[in-house]
Amino acid sequence: GENVEQHPSTLSVQEGDSAVIKCTYSDSASNYFPWYKQELGKGPQLIIDIRSNVGEKKDQRIAVTLNKTAKHFSLHITETQPEDSAVYFCAATLGSHNDMRFGAGTRLTVKP
């Protein structure tokens, strides 16, 4: 089955700095990679996703990069703000399957 490893487990940055979270996956057939942000007491919210036919995608301060050869993908948040503080989960899914496998999560703290 698919294994998704996520690092780091915790990340603390100063407001305005960049934050990078990295994930690796095991199944080379994986073709969809979403990132979710989960705030305390809430469900995960999709913030950006990427499919295997592109290497990078950007949406304002958030970007995701994908290296299919190395089987890893990363979330980049620039100009971080305190409201970016949350737990972030990466995930990977096979196109032919119904399930999605999540990383263990990264608790991001942005200090004002």
Residues that bind other proteins (CB under 8 A): 31-32, 34, 36, 41-46, 49, 51, 89, 93-105, 107
Find out whether 63 and 53 touch, Cβ atoms under 8 Å: no
**Of 10 and 67, which has the nearer Cβ to other proteins?**
10
What proportions of the chain, in percent to the nearest 5, are helix, strand and coil? Answer: 5, 60, 40
**Of 1 and 112, which has the nearer Cβ to other proteins?**
1
Tell me how far, at minimum, the Cβ of 38 lies from other proteins, in Å: 8
Instruction: Calculate the CA 77 to chain-centre distance.
Output: 10
**Of 32 and 68, which has the nearer Cβ to other proteins?**
32
